[in-house]
Amino acid sequence: MKKIPYRFVLSEEQMPTKWYNLRADMKSLPEPLLNPATLEPAKEEDLYPVFCKELARQELDNTTRYFDIPEEVLEIYKVYRPSPLMRAYNLEKVLGTPAKIYYKYEGNNTSGSHKLNSAVAQAYYAKQQGITSLTTETGAGQWGTALSEACAYFKIPLTVYMVKGSAEQKPYRKIAMQTFGADVVASPSNTTEAGRRILAEMPDTTGSLGCAISEAVEKAATTPNCRYVLGSVLNQVLLHQSIIGLEAKKAMEMLDEYPDVIIGCAGGGSNLGGLIAPFMKDRLEGRSNTEFIAVEPASCPSLTRGKYAYDFCDTGKITPMAKMYTLGCDFIPSPNHAGGLRYHGMSPIISKLYHDGYIKAVSVEQTRVFEAATLFSRVETILPAPESSHAIRAAIDEALRCKETGEAKTILFGLTGSGFFDMTAYNAYNTKTMTDYIPTDKELEISFEKLPKL
Amino acid sequence: MKKIPYRFVLSEEQMPTKWYNLRADMKSLPEPLLNPATLEPAKEEDLYPVFCKELARQELDNTTRYFDIPEEVLEIYKVYRPSPLMRAYNLEKVLGTPAKIYYKYEGNNTSGSHKLNSAVAQAYYAKQQGITSLTTETGAGQWGTALSEACAYFKIPLTVYMVKGSAEQKPYRKIAMQTFGADVVASPSNTTEAGRRILAEMPDTTGSLGCAISEAVEKAATTPNCRYVLGSVLNQVLLHQSIIGLEAKKAMEMLDEYPDVIIGCAGGGSNLGGLIAPFMKDRLEGRSNTEFIAVEPASCPSLTRGKYAYDFCDTGKITPMAKMYTLGCDFIPSPNHAGGLRYHGMSPIISKLYHDGYIKAVSVEQTRVFEAATLFSRVETILPAPESSHAIRAAIDEALRCKETGEAKTILFGLTGSGFFDMTAYNAYNTKTMTDYIPTDKELEISFEKLPKL
């Protein structure tokens, strides 16, 4: 039997040079994006005003199995990748579980998360096309930081619409983005039509990802040679994030291991989709029975309590419509919700796989999430992001079940990022002022009633 | 010629299992610590009230060349080590230099710095001896965070005296330490005699490392079964930090490389001492002509403008005296100084090597440091700590000299940490409100007059 190291890092030559497109192997594809004006499936050209061409192609391509990662993208990947595959010996010991726990750690780069994997790709394609500025939204700030880094590298001016509540709670995130040269605007703002409309309706709103997306899309559509980029949900993003799963699979193969259970936190689905992609291929082709678990916050439970329906990707209702599990594009998570994973919908690919029974979903309350984060930090010496800690919670729960049943399952979870910018939330947990919130059925019903009638 | 990767990481089996004690190979040893009561060289037993026994032994042992790293320490090292040796291709390109720039990146762990290497060792030996609590001081907060992590792992209660100015400027550092279970006290405080005395003399002081050390030492000496640990300056700390240099040397050998110049930031000297140790052995034994450069802040210039003299390690004058380059133990850097590297003295080992001409020193002003940090972050996508950015500044300057002369030198510098908790300083630089301060000769003279007369 091979000796498994605590930390296994592939060499530069072993790093994958292609992204994997899971859609090429799905028997039953996600429903197409709809053009909201015609209600017809969106064509590549329909997406050009918002996305640059190559990304529009990647968004709609359901057949190309592998995409070459451009050399210029690999040149940045190589600064922080391959990321380590960790064996959580210390956590296993403290839990007293017979399970083997692995995690793929994406926090070892300045953005503090996996988001840089897609940011670099999207900034590169924009540069290639001669796009002269970009816009985006950010919630907790991981995506905004990642894109700021990528745009600094490729020298593309960037405007980030940051959810207002988060901008106020995380001033350091804002400074980090500014250090990389980005212009950061708290959203909703009075710099766009969409922002002004939302402010007129809800002057005291702390904002939402949906609002911020509306503002960023409008800014891109009304600025010459500007495009919008998004850090999750989209098929193109899951494609870029497949690097996580490809590396994890290769590393586990080299260690003669294969996961029985794969766990990922799920907000828009980018990390989960990227992590599971190559393993899901095995499952779809009958070569494995791996169980896939999406973990979402109880305060924003799109998979576990949402509707599988066509909905807008933004609150301002100007984006294409996607068939996905959604809480309704007007849903705004309770202000006590810390960290990211606050999007109203879910990646159409993840939604479809969940709908077809290939993925399970659980929701967890944030105090239990921070309990897991604190335990983890003390034995693994990594201070995890709140988002990532949802996966830690579920992995610990699974390992404790194994302790009861005596099963020696091999668990793999995605540790998407570090919590350096989330100290306010940790402080709330440390001082026992953190609370939980679970939306009532009535609240969700009101939100569902506003879903588009097709 | 070998292809050099962007990022080269040794495997777990290649990680060194012994620390290297440079003193065993120094022809001319650092002067001994003096017991301040007797003015005689301190014996191991003299140190027992403050340090635990094995660390007292390591502190005074000038002959044992290699110390085995305990298995329990290796078990934590393996979670975040070996650390990557980076080739800064992107930085070289933007500078247009013929020089090859390498950096050893120690920021990829939660403490965000190299400090964890010694924290783990010191906490382990304390646990072994049955010590039931520890105290320490922290300035910028890297050491405090690192020791909090280590103490959380070994379940040892810890009190951290944090320089008051820093505690106010960096609330997130404090929360991080609290998350790992540490008790954080802003220093000077009224919880110790030393603190009360300093507060009586200077009620508005923002504190200094020297003050915080006095408080931590007093607390350890007056609490049953408690000991004090220090994150830099001491011989034992440089011993533990030799892991940095040992890994760097092994990695460079595997790449058929050897540095012509090694650059490290220097506050107390722990990172510099650890990084250069095995390379200095070669130089001392006539096998290389590598140039060693210590980089310090112009606002706290112990090597470039200090005296080589016996001085106290703390402001309260209760520690043993060390012969070192010092600005005087009452010296407090200007409040506009951002980040760490604010200690009044310098490691006796580094001081001796500098005095004997083996190390050069330069001082740099902080606006030039942040200019270098910002450039670096945009091309290498790592947001560096202000401390580490002193080394970046000097490395860039060296690379630009190479551009003028056409020399293709191989430069290695220590990138000791990440800047996630230093966003206030970055904001000052971004908004052009950061200023420089260079102490006047008169100021230093006043401080030197208070040096102990032996």
Q: Does ipTM top 0.90?
A: yes
Distance between CA atoms of B18 and B348, rounded to whole angstroms? 22
Based on the domain organization, do A243 and A102 belong to the same domain?
yes
Sort A24 into a burial class: Cβ within 10 Å, 0-12 / 13-18 / 19+.
middle
Across residues A104-132, what is the average pLDDT?
95
Label residue A1 by pLDDT band (50, 70, 90).
Answer: low
Which positions 62-81 of B are in contact with A (Cβ < 8 Å)? 75-76, 78-81
Among candidates A68, A407, A64, A443, which has minimal Cα distance to A235?
A64
Q: What is the largest CA-CA distance in chain A?
A: 65
Across residues A86-112, what is the average pLDDT?
95
**Average confidence score pLDDT of chain A:** 95
Q: What is the pLDDT of residue B290?
A: 98
A79 and B430: CB-CB below 8 Å? no
Across residues B365-388, what is the average pLDDT?
95
Residue B8 β-bridge partners:
B85
The single-letter code of the amino acid at B161 is Y
Based on the domain organization, do B140 and B174 belong to the same domain?
yes
Q: What is the pLDDT of residue A374?
A: 96
- Measure B389 CA to nearest chain A CA, in Å: 14
Which positions 414-443 of B are in contact with A (Cβ < 8 Å)? 418, 420-421, 423-424, 426-427, 430
Q: Which residue of B has its CA nearest to A112?
A: B420
Q: Count Cβ–Cβ pairs < 8 Å, chain A vs chain B.
A: 149
Residue B44 belongs to some domain of the structure: yes
**Residues of chain A with C-beta less than 8 angstroms from the C-beta of B75:** 6, 89-90
Domains identified in chain B, total number: 2
Which positions 366-395 of B are in contact with A (Cβ < 8 Å)? 374, 377-383
Q: Which residue of A has its CA nearest to B429?
A: A179
Residue B336 has pLDDT above 70, yes or no: yes
CATH assignment at residue A27: 3.40.50.1100
pLDDT tens digits, A166-203: 898 888 999 999 999 999 999 999 999 999 999 999 99
A109 and B382: CB-CB below 8 Å? yes
How is residue A3 written in tokens?
């000796």
Q: What is the pLDDT of residue A208?
A: 86
Containing H/E element for B47? helix B44-47
Label residue B166 by pLDDT band (50, 70, 90).
Answer: confident
Across residues A95-119, what is the average pLDDT?
94
User: With contact defined as beta carbons under 8 Å apart, do A363 and A297 qualify?
Assistant: yes
Based on the domain organization, do A178 and A203 belong to the same domain?
yes
Across residues A51-64, what is the average pLDDT?
96
Structural domain range at position A23: 18-67+115-228
Residue B309 belongs to some domain of the structure: yes
- From A125-139, A259-273, B100-114, the region with the lowest mean pLDDT: B100-114
Q: Output A448 or A314, whichever has higher pLDDT.
A: A448
Q: What is the pLDDT of residue B163?
A: 92
A11 to chain B, any CB pair closer than 8 A? The answer is yes
Based on the domain organization, do A184 and A252 belong to the same domain?
no
pLDDT tens digits, A202-257: 999 988 888 899 999 999 999 999 999 999 999 999 999 999 999 999 999 999 99
Based on the domain organization, do B215 and B122 belong to the same domain?
yes
Based on the domain organization, do B204 and B307 belong to the same domain?
no
Q: Which residue of B has its CA nearest to A422?
A: B172
Across residues B202-223, what is the average pLDDT?
91
Label residue B325 by pLDDT band (50, 70, 90).
Answer: very high
- From A201-215, A343-357, B405-419, the region with the lowest mean pLDDT: A201-215
Q: What is the pLDDT of residue A316?
A: 83
How much of chain A exceeds pLDDT 70, in percent? 100
Question: What is the C-alpha radius of gyration for chain A, rounded to an integer number of angstroms?
Answer: 20
Averaging pLDDT over each range in A401-410, A445-454, B44-53, which range is the top one? A401-410
Based on the domain organization, do B122 and B144 belong to the same domain?
yes
How is residue A236 written in tokens?
């193109």
Based on the domain organization, do B215 and B284 belong to the same domain?
no
Residue where a domain terminates, one of B228, B256, B277: B228
Based on the domain organization, do B270 and B400 belong to the same domain?
yes
Residue A108 has pLDDT above 90, yes or no: no
Label residue B1 by pLDDT band (50, 70, 90).
Answer: low
Residue where a domain terminates, one of A184, A204, A228: A228
Among candidates B149, B170, B166, B220, which has minimal Cα distance to B191?
B220
- Measure B109 CA to nearest chain A CA, in Å: 7
Residues contacting residue A292 through CB under 8 Å, at least 6 positions apart? A261, A262, A276, A279, A280, A283, A353, A358, A359, A360
Residue where a domain terminates, one of A228, A260, A286: A228
Q: Which residue of B has its CA nearest to A106?
A: B108
- From A419-423, B150-154, B188-192, the region with the lowest mean pLDDT: A419-423
Across residues A391-409, what is the average pLDDT?
98
Based on the domain organization, do A30 and A136 belong to the same domain?
yes
Based on the domain organization, do B265 and B337 belong to the same domain?
yes
- Report if pTM > 0.80: yes
Residues contacting residue A83 through CB under 8 Å, at least 6 positions apart? A9, A104, A105, A106, A108, A244, A247
Residue B453 belongs to some domain of the structure: no
Across residues B106-114, what is the average pLDDT?
88
Based on the domain organization, do A183 and A258 belong to the same domain?
no
A79 and B6: CB-CB below 8 Å? yes
Q: What is the pLDDT of residue A227?
A: 95
Residue A72 belongs to some domain of the structure: no
Among candidates B377, B169, B415, which has minimal Cα distance to A145?
B377
Distance between CA atoms of A275 and A263, rounded to whole angstroms? 9
User: With contact defined as beta carbons under 8 Å apart, do A198 and A316 qualify?
Assistant: yes
Residue B109 has pLDDT above 90, yes or no: no
The single-letter code of the amino acid at B429 is Y
Does the N-terminal peptide bond of residue B224 adopt cis geometry, omega within 30 degrees of 0? Answer: no
Q: Write the DSSP string, A8-60.
A: E---GGGS-SEEE-GGGG-SSPPPPPB-TTT-SBPPHHHHTTTS-HHHHHHHH
